[in-house]
Structure 1
């Protein structure tokens, strides 16, 4: 074997193995240390919210576990029972703030995720139909989308909550009504590009049904921008729900959320009992920020042309 052949063999041996698409995605995503930390914090937040009933010292909405004598205790004050310490203090009803925040975080995340998924399914289907059918149908759908987006989201949500009433299911309906248009416009724009490509024409020539072409061929190629919109709109839904609950028109007192906890402590701010609103507000801010950071990095990875 010549020296040239030996060098070629060694170069072949040293060549790294080809990465799978998932490995490339992980490598691109972890290039941003801030986005990686945000993703870890988001997963930790979701896990803490899921296991809250098993790790918190009390169920803050079980009257048998709440002592009114513990009302508005400062952070680090032991409970009247002496079994645990209120590390972040208590609110006006004597509820442990750590327990109340984790229970509230469960509701806030559930409302944001559920409304985001339902709005995504509805908006994606409408956007696909508009792009694929075209003509007057597309014009009518897009005029409805434009009309929906012309109104402030908080105003539409307030009107719907006033009609439907309070409750988790009612606020999810309101948020879906507010959000679906964003998904419809995003999917319609991507589907217009995809529907003019050769593989769609080939699928039509093969006699595939419109539903199979739409959901089996066009929709998978519209997923990258759709995933980014999901993260942004989930954070938007959480902030909207918190705003509605803070105003007293969102969730009832028996179904806690971070916005409701902030509202409950707002009346005590001037008396110096800041912790009742401050810590739930901090958790809400952190949750929205980490979701947006994850969405920004997903956008850069899925569409490198938009990255800086």
Structure 2
């Protein structure tokens, strides 16, 4: 009876793990398809997004224009897809740079001695101590705003949390027996890091990168919305939402509703992907 009960519990646990793995893979596939579709379509509709037609101004959403048109007769669906594709490009580029910075600094803090660790830890506390949005605005404004300023601002302001995670993982890993054996065998620190530590922390790096991506998109949109990001001639999501605020009082609700929904769908989808990926990789989370 006891053996049978144990086998049943084990089978249920395996089914649960399989379901969770399948669910995560489904989220990743859905997110990738969604991301690719918006990016490709947004790139292809570039001219449509900026084409004005004064005979079709302020149209409510209908079959020909599912997201309606704005005060210049521009198709809001095309503008939303174009704006979202711009945000995806910027968010992806900035999150990759930020994750790489986090990996390098986290590894350096954990392996290059107490002085380097103290300096990097102090710098992490300094960056995290500054209000996030204020830091974004200061960096972007100092770099002349625009795409370059936004990418650098988002990349520089998003690395501290992931750096702490990678640093903690490597500090724990340094106490592992096989790392100590490798040191006694005379392997260099660089070889130990590359051969033993990087493969171990790569899952955490990957999860951190996926979770950074929606934050990068959202903060790029917020920065542009406040006027410290992309220039007005670029139909970014932040520009679209900022411009729509002037017309909400006139009853043109669709100008903000649909772009906002697309932005939130993208952010929430990749937040779910990152959370599911973390549960699948982390054994402690997987048992919850």
TM-score (norm 1): 0.81
Mapping of residues 7-86 of structure 1, within 5 Å: 28-30=20-22, 32=23, 38-52=27-41, 56=45, 58-61=47-50, 65-76=51-62, 85-86=64-65
- In the alignment, the residues of structure 1 paired with residue 186 and residue 69 of structure 2 have an alpha-carbon distance, to the nearest angstrom, of 65
How far off is 1:42 after superposition?
1.7
Gaps of 5+ in 2: 1-15
Of 41-50 and 147-156, more deviation after overlay is shown by 41-50
- 1:81-230 to structure 2, matched below 5 A, reads 85-230=64-209
Question: Is the helix fraction higher in 1 or 2?
Answer: 2
Q: CA deviation at 1:104?
A: 0.9
Query: 238-247 or 132-141, which moves further after superposition?
Result: 132-141
Larger radius of gyration between Structure 1 and Structure 2 = 1
How far residue 118 of structure 1 moved from its aligned partner, in angstroms, is 0.6
Aligned partner of residue 158 in structure 2, secondary structure? helix
Taking only aligned residues, the RMSD between alpha carbons, in angstroms, comes to 2.4
Name structure 1 gaps, 5 residues minimum.
Answer: 1-23, 78-84
Q: Could you tell me how far apart the structure 1 residues matched to 2:42 and 2:92 are?
A: 20
1:301 aligns with 2:280: yes
Show the counterpart of 1:18: none
Deviation of the 1:56 alpha carbon: 4.3
Once the two structures are TM-superposed, the CA of residue 159 in structure 1 deviates from its matched residue by: 0.8
Question: Displacement, 1:237?
Answer: 1.0
CA contact (8 A) 1:90 1:96 kept: yes
Whole-angstrom distance in 1 between the partners of 2:72 and 2:203: 46
**Rounded Cα–Cα distance in structure 1 between residues aligned with 2:275 and 2:264:** 16
Instruction: Return structure 1 stretches of 4+ with deviation > 6 angstroms.
Output: none
Contact 2:141 2:149 in 1 (8 A): no
Contact residue 161 and residue 249 of structure 1 kept, 8 A? yes
SS at match of 1:140: helix
Q: Counterpart of 2:159 in 1: which secondary structure?
A: helix
TM-score (norm 2): 0.87
